[in-house]
A and B are shown apart, each in its own frame.
Chain A
């Protein structure tokens, strides 16, 4: 039995494609199987083609899989679009009416009249996806009782008739497959550990991570692909005594965060690139006034309105440099769903401890993907809190103290003796407007000293990981969700007998200089895979460390494929012994 199964369900939006995929995920999570999914969204509001790919495995997996083992197609368009991705000995389960190409490289095809069973036998066309689940449950030996339980939960609120239709659909799909389809392939559901795993999307992980970190004040504005963060919080935060306020635009959202955070509450907003552009001015204010804030940017294809439902990692330079003046901020990027939980909590810990804005970059693919998460992840999240002052009676409160630590204790508004003004103007220690030479220099240095302190804070120590063979001279630096395909590519390259290593910083500002310098000192080639056109991380690395990089960029709206990275590794490895192979790391 195989330990790993890549299954894809494709059809038209509205046919219940996603329900099939999600039900499989729920079953698998309960069995203790590891899951990573990838799904596409149509650009249309209703209709248009969509698919969900689920990779199920006995071991932890970093990526949703490149070729498809088991393809489920609900209509002819789905067959035409997805068949090229089916592996040579894969399985196709499709609508009986579909035409298949005459040339078959070796795959197994099963045809089931899903439409006819749903429309004629059950009398409910929309139950077609449940018929598909029934057939799948026979072919993959899924626990049928568990599916029945999920269906009961899902349709209980819609009344008995609807529930009965769906249970009937499941049975009929199962029966048809059992009596008409002789199992000719060996694919089964991989074996699980039996330990239930949590199942969540990247957006849910961010919302859960934020609430676990103590965030109770959320301000946001609808935007694809980040809206689900606000939606999850709107449904759950009020029960925890928190507040979700939908503002009239992103400028208002970030300014409300500034207000709530100054008042002492852990506050956050989430948006996508267009929203982060609008928030840029206030990032400068948060930096200047030293107010903690967490800003999540789920990146999508840009610039401008761009491709709202497609993924891209093209906001890094905006996150690093957006806003005028020397504005300090921390930029973080989690690599997976479980990583999103941890990094969100870290974002709050750092924002509160250092009193500055933290921008966390995820992307559409990571926001939307479902992944299993170990329960322990939720229990071991980084913690950090704001240093608060106990103002002395009589003495005026000094909010921005110079000398000593770069972080000065804050007094919350309303604290007796702690009255003060926070301001976007340059100011002296007490918050008075000051534009003399010494003050602006001293305050700028104070704000930037925080970044230096963060770099060496034990809080962030485990947030830069090394992968692969530490002696290899082929190096990869990547960020965010591109870490998944990179990890997969390292394993594939190893199988080919080629060694490579990678470093993945979760904090991109301030960069983990010590780790990166050590890394560059060891490798002779640096490949930088990322999902943007100009190579934004590569640009940062080149300007910071003065090293040559090999770019691997892609702007197709979908994640990098491991094979694309392997190709670059092979290419870089083959040039290792060519001329001018100097070690990196002397500069920086």
Chain B
């Protein structure tokens, strides 16, 4: 358990309780000097994961440190390992499916020992673990929570495309309610995924992470501020990145922007961060984006054929809206502090 504090400020937040100086707001994307994933990766057209990895790497390199990545099996691994030069000057260790965070632990532990022996300077390296939602929510969860519990210094990035895409779109612990996947098919007996997804960042906070943040590549300034904070804050920090997937979401390849906007406007994906001050056992929550239109979930279901089945069942759409509202009610104190009208329910469904 922890005490909860809310940041009244809504929006980009380069400041942190846990850092003496704010991190950089990179501004215009074209003006960023660092490189991320370079050409040669084999991501699908319209893949959000490529942008996510790209932005994380570019942000981490802003510190001038060498990035050492531990990557788990998954889409990100498949698309970046046939031509490894796409990682540029990043050192990469691809390990098994269950243990991205465990490998990260090994990297960090060896680095400490090597530093004591005078081999390398830990100050010159930033350790990052990158895995998908399957490798994080399901098979890799034990390793991740144990890594957080050990309090090691590093960044863990979950690229969340909400199902197992590289093996053929099977449902995962992060798959939204009602989604049609190959293992949660939308049929007469069972209508798509019947589970409510877990919330990774809640779990990470409970395990003791000093900093957790949800981001999306559409808002690169926010994502890159969060990646820098995760690297700068001492301890195991977790970043979750919304990753559009045309292949698995059965959407057009050119609606990356529209889908992300709808996710934010329907509050299906909330951009926020939380940092934990250990001495007072207080967690400060900051909302980084406020939906302007409060669109109903039915709008989000439109562009993605993975939701085609549930659109015809009003009770399912209502349930999906309830899941969102239950989650959103957490932010009521921030709305009230800012004098923003609290909407009990989104526009009529």
Contacts and interface: CB of A to CB of B under 8 A. Distances in A.
Q: Do A and B come from one complex?
A: yes
Interface string B130-154: 0000100111010000000000000
A230 B167 contact: no
Given A44-B82, A221-B138, A231-B170, 5 more contacts: A45-B75, A231-B183, A235-B185, A246-B170, A248-B137
B96 A274 contact: yes
Nearest to A248: B138
Residue of A230, A231, A244, A246 with highest tally of chain B CB at under 10 A:
A246
Nearest to A234: B183
Given A45-B165, A238-B190, A239-B189, A222 B134 contact: yes
A204 to B, nearest CB: 14
A43 to B, nearest CB: 7
A12 to B, nearest CB: 13
A305 B77 CA distance: 11
Contacts of B168: 222, 224, 227-228, 231
A248 to B, nearest CB: 4
A304 interface: yes
A223 interface: yes
A88 interface: no
Given A224-B167, A248-B139, A234 B96 contact: no
Contacts, number: 78
A169 to B, nearest CB: 22
B139 A221 contact: yes
B129 interface: no
Contacts of A227: 167-168, 170, 182-183
B166 interface: yes
* Interchain residue pairs A-B with the least CB separation, the first 4: A222-B170, A249-B139, A248-B138, A238-B189
B78 A234 contact: no
B44 interface: yes
A149 interface: no
A247 B189 CA distance: 20
Contacts of A305: 73, 77, 94, 96-97
B78 A222 contact: no
Interface of B: 42, 44-45, 73, 75, 77-79, 82, 94, 96-98, 134, 137-139, 141, 164-168, 170-171, 173, 182-185, 187, 189-190, 247
Contacts of A246: 170-171, 183-184
Interface residues of A, number: 27
Given A222-B164, A227-B182, A249-B98, A45 B247 contact: yes
A412 to B, nearest CB: 26
Interface of A: 43-47, 221-224, 227-228, 230-231, 234-235, 238-239, 244, 246-250, 274, 278, 304-305
Contact of A45 (B78, B97, B189): B78
A278 B75 CA distance: 21
Nearest to A223: B167
A45 B44 contact: yes
A191 to B, nearest CB: 37
Contacts of B141: 248
A241 B277 CA distance: 51
Nearest to B173: A248
Contact of B138 (A235, A238, A239, A249): A249
A248 B139 CA distance: 5
Contacts of A235: 185, 187
Nearest to A42: B42
A230 B139 contact: no
A274 B72 CA distance: 14
A67 B122 CA distance: 58
Nearest to B94: A305
Contacts of A230: 170, 183
Contacts of A223: 167
A235 B73 CA distance: 26
Contacts of B137: 248
23 contacts: A44-B78, A44-B79, A44-B82, A45-B247, A46-B45, A222-B168, A222-B170, A224-B167, A224-B168, A227-B168, A227-B170, A231-B185, A234-B183, A238-B189, A239-B189, A246-B183, A246-B184, A250-B139, A304-B96, A305-B73, A305-B77, A305-B94, A305-B97
